[in-house]
A = this chain, B = another copy of it.
Amino acid sequence: METDANELRRVIGAAAEAAPKIAESTPAERATWLRAAADALDAAADELIPLAAKETHLPEAPRLRGELARTTFQLRLFGEVLTDGAFLRATVDHADPRWPMGPRPDIRRTVVPIGPALVFAASNFPFAFSVAGGDTASALAAGCPVVLKAHPGHPGLSTRTGEVLREALIAAGAPAGIFDVIHGVEPGVTALKDPRIAAAAFTGSVPGGRALFDIAVSRPAPIPFYGELGSVNPVVVTPGAVKVRGAEVVKGYVGSFTLGTGQFCTKPGLLFLPEGHGLGDALRDAAGAAPGQPMLNERIAGGFTHDLARLRDQPSVTVLASGDPDGDLFRPTLLTVRGEDFRQAGEVLRNECFGPSSIVVTYAGQGELLKLLDELEPGLTATVHAEETEAEDVRVLLPALTRLAGRLLWNDWPTGVTVSWAQQHGGPYPATTAPTTTSVGTAAIERFLRPVAFQGFPDALLPPALREANPWQLPRRVDGNRS
C-alpha cells in the first residue's frame, strides 16, 4: 500500500492551495472544525477501535478506548486554545517619539500559520500519536493543512481515520485540501523534500527520526522538523523510598515498564536503586508474574529481541527475570548491573530498548548517582522516588535531572502523559530534534505558527488580533503592559 506519484502530487497541491484559505479562517472557525472532527471520531469508535486492535494487537479496553478518548479530548482542548486566544500572542507597541533608543514606529506582532505541515505518524499509539493525534491537532489548530504520512503498522486504520477526520473537517466548513493521508516511505520522503511543505513533525525511533531530520535540514530551503525520537526515562529511587515503600515502588515500576508491552516512549528503561536495596526478590517476582503480551508487529518484536540479546550479552549484567517469549507473547525481562559496571559498559546499556525490558542500576551513594546521571543522554522524562524528608538530598540531584529531560516526576511513573496546559513532552536531543518545543499539551500549537509584525498599518488592514479596538477581546501586551 503506497501512494502513487500522481496522488501524492494531488495531495500536496491541494494542501498548498488550501493553506492561504485556512490562514484566513478565524480561530473560532477552526475551533468548530476541531470539535466536529472530535465528534465524528467518537461516533466512529465502534468501527475504528476493532480495526486498531486488529492491526496493532493492543487491547480494545481499556487501552484503545482510552486512547481514542484522549485523542478526541485533545482535539477539543485545542478548540479551547483557539477560543482563549493567548496563542496569538498579540502585542501592540504604539508609536513613541520618546522611546529611549530613538523614535519608535507603531508596530504590532501576532502569529500566522507556518504553512502545509507533514506529519509522520507513530506506531505505538494508533490514535493519539497517529492520524488524528497531537501533531495533527496542533497543526490544524494553528491553521495549517496537514499531509499525514501513515505508519505502516496500522494502514487500514490510518486510511479510515483519515477519511472520518477529513470528511468531518470539510463538512464543518474547512477548505478541501486541509487534510489527507499518504502511505509509503518513498512518498513520505518525496513530500518532505517538497518546497511547499513548510514544517514536519515525527514521533518514532532515533534512526528513523534522524534520517528524516537530516533530509529536512538538507533541503535547499530547510524547514523546522519536530522529531520526538528516543528516551530511556531514568528513575532514581532514594534509600528512604526503598525503606518506607520499597514494595510499592517495585509494583509501580514493573507496571510502568511493561505497560503497552513496553512500547511507550516514556517507558522507564533504567531504575537507579541504592546498593543493598534488598528488593531483588520482589523485583524478580513482580516481573516474573507479569503476563505475556503481544508486540505491535513483527518488525518491532524482531528489533526488541535483537536489542535485548545485546543487553543480556554484557558480562556485567545479571538477569533478574528472563522474559522468554511464549509464541507471540512477550513477558518482561528485567536486568541488573552495578553502577560502576554500567559506567564502563558505555552506550550499549544507555540506549533506549523499545519493548518490555528494563535495567536496575545500583549506585553506591549520591556521588556515584550524580556521575551516573551526568553520563546519561537527555530524554523525555526523569523521575525521583523519595520521601519528603529527603528533600535536601533530592535538591542536589535536580540540576542533573533538569539537564536530562523535559518532564520531571516525583513519586509517579513516566508512562501516562496527560494532555493539559502545563504538559511538556520533549527535551534535548535525542529526546527531540527541537528542544525548545513540546509535542504534547496546548503549547504544541506554537510549532506551527510564525510571528509577523505589522509596522505603521492602517487599522482596517491589520489582522483583527492587532486592531486598536481589540475586537476579539484577546489578552494582549500593549506598550509593554500585559492586559
Give the interface of A toward B (CB within 8 A): 20, 23-24, 66, 69-70, 73-74, 76, 80, 84, 86, 91-93, 99-102, 104-105, 107-109, 112, 114-115, 198, 213-214, 217-218, 221-224, 377, 388, 391, 394-395, 398-399, 402-403, 405-412, 418-424, 426-430, 433-438, 441, 443, 446-447, 449-458, 460-461, 475, 477, 479-480, 482
Contacts and interface: CB of A to CB of B under 8 A. Distances in A.
Contact of A394 (B84, B453, B461): B461
A453 B410 contact: no
Nearest to A81: B480
Contacts of A377: 221
B101 A69 contact: yes
Could you say how many copies of this chain the assembly holds?
2
A7 B207 CA distance: 36
A213 B115 CA distance: 22
Given A93-B422, A221-B430, A421-B91, A410 B461 contact: yes
Contact of A109 (B73, B76, B424, B454): B424
A399 B19 CA distance: 10
The 6 closest A-B pairs by CB, nearest first: A424-B453, A73-B101, A109-B422, A91-B422, A93-B422, A217-B217
A473 B420 CA distance: 22
A11 to B, nearest CB: 21
B104 A420 contact: yes
19 contacts: A20-B403, A24-B399, A70-B101, A73-B100, A84-B482, A86-B482, A91-B421, A93-B418, A93-B420, A101-B419, A221-B377, A222-B433, A223-B429, A388-B458, A391-B458, A406-B451, A408-B452, A408-B455, A422-B477
B420 A99 contact: yes
Nearest to A71: B101
User: Secondary structure of the A side of the interface?
Assistant: mixed
B399 A23 contact: yes
Contacts of A114: 435-436
B451 A436 contact: yes
Nearest to A412: B456
Contact of A450 (B92, B435, B480): B435
B452 A412 contact: no
A202 to B, nearest CB: 14
Nearest to A382: B452
Contacts of A436: 114, 224, 446-447, 449-451
Contact of A105 (B223, B418, B460): B418
A424 to B, nearest CB: 4
Given A102-B70, A430-B221, A112 B455 contact: no
Contacts of A424: 109, 451-453
B429 A221 contact: yes
A429 B422 CA distance: 31
B70 A453 contact: no
A69 B423 CA distance: 40
Contacts of A388: 458
A94 to B, nearest CB: 9
A422 B452 contact: no
Contact of A455 (B86, B218, B394, B412): B412
A154 to B, nearest CB: 21
Contacts of A479: 421
B452 A92 contact: no
A408 B441 CA distance: 31
